[in-house]
Amino acid sequence: MTLQRRRLLALAGLAPFMNWSNIMAAEHSESRDGQPARRVLSDFTGDEPYVIENAGWRGFSDRVMGGVSDAQLELSNVGGKACARLTGTVTRESNGGFIQMAMYFGQREAELDASGYQGLELLVYGNNEDYNVHVRTADCGWYDDSYRHTFFAPAEWQRVQIPWSEFEANRVKEPLDTSRLTRIAILGWMREFQADISLAEIALYA
């Protein structure tokens, strides 16, 4: 088992924040006419997982607030692609209702400036269910504050592009400030179902 795999499995067990920046230093980006056309934030398809400098992943469920949903986050291979796979049983029992894999940009609510891009692009493989993407910024205070979008994930690999304009604010009065992102999360969300969502790549697109 590689060091990267051990670290990701530790995150699934609610370990403290960890990152791979000292291991994965190469920048993953593409340019078009001298402008950044696309910036990869995390990529699991290579020989080793990649995440941008100082960033890392956590996997957890509503058990952190008294719920009883189960979550597991692991490195896997689904449909011929290496990926991070989030699985578990989502239940509304005990006032819960979610599992998630969340990307943080550093300790203490560190921020990422994504203002030069139009939105998020996900390469995902699901199980014919709806999933959520939640974005948090420096304007989000309470744990439930976020900007949200729901997408359908079929049982095949697909690229999903989500413009910033399609994220809806939840409990946040300020408009989405993409220059101050603090977290991006993919969730099985607020209904009774068996979640199984795999992420091969997450990027910003122009």
User: When comparing pLDDT for 113 and 3, which is higher?
Assistant: 113
Task: Tell me how many domains the chain contains.
Answer: 1
Q: How many CB atoms lie within 10 A of CB 140?
A: 23
Span of 25-29, 42-46, 151-155, 170-174 with lowest mean pLDDT = 25-29
pTM: 0.87
Using CA atoms, how far apart are residues 184 and 12, in angstroms rounded to an integer?
16
Structural domain range at position 46 = 3-205
Over the chain, what is the mean pLDDT? Answer: 88
**CATH number, domain containing residue 110:** 2.60.120.430
DSSP string, 9-40: HHHHTTPPP---TTT-----EEEETTEEEEEE
Average pLDDT over every residue of 72-100: 97
> Across 62-192, where does the E strand assignment appear?
72-78, 81-90, 98-104, 119-125, 129-137, 146-153, 157-163, 168-170, 181-189
Using CA atoms, how far apart are residues 25 and 35, in angstroms rounded to an integer?
21
The predicted structure's pLDDT at residue 35: 58
Average pLDDT over every residue of 178-187: 98
